[in-house]
Amino acid sequence: DAKTTQPNSMESNEEEPVHLPCNHSTISGTDYIHWYRQLPSQGPEYVIHGLTSNVNNRMASLAIAEDRKSSTLILHRATLRDAAVYYCILRDYDKIIFGKGTRLHILP
C-alpha cells in the first residue's frame, strides 16, 4: 500500500504561515491526497484534498508537486486553535491509511 512520510513535529509562531510537508513517493495514479487534523481527545476533522492541481478552501491550501510524489499543506495564518496533529493520507475509495501525522505546535 502507498504510504506517506511526515515530520513528527513542527513549530510555528502565531499569525505566521505554516507549511506542513508530506512525501508520498509510491502514490498511484488514482490516489487522492487528503489532509485531516485531530485536536486532543477528539475525532479527526477534514481539512482539504486534491488529486493533481493545487487546491484552496477556507481552512487551508494544498500544493501538490508536479510528479505528485510530495505535497504541502499551507495554513496561511496560524492561530492557537490550529495546534493539532495533521495527517496526510492517500485515499483510494476502498482503502485509507493514517500514519502518525505531524504534531503542530503554535507559539504565541
Interface residues with other proteins (CB under 8 A) are 30, 32, 34, 36, 41-46, 49, 51, 87, 91-93, 96-101
Q: Which is nearer to other proteins, 78 or 87 (CB)?
A: 87
- Using alpha carbons only, how large is the chain's radius of gyration in Å? 13
Name the β-bridge partners of 97.
Answer: none
DSSP codes, 62-77? EEE-TTSSEEEEEESS
Backbone angles phi, psi at 80, to 5 degrees: -60, -30
Q: Which is nearer to other proteins, 8 or 108 (CB)?
A: 8
Q: Which is nearer to other proteins, 65 or 96 (CB)?
A: 96
CB of 32 to other proteins, least distance (A): 4
CB of 79 to other proteins, least distance (A): 21
Helix (H, G, I), strand (E, B), or coil: what is residue 10? strand
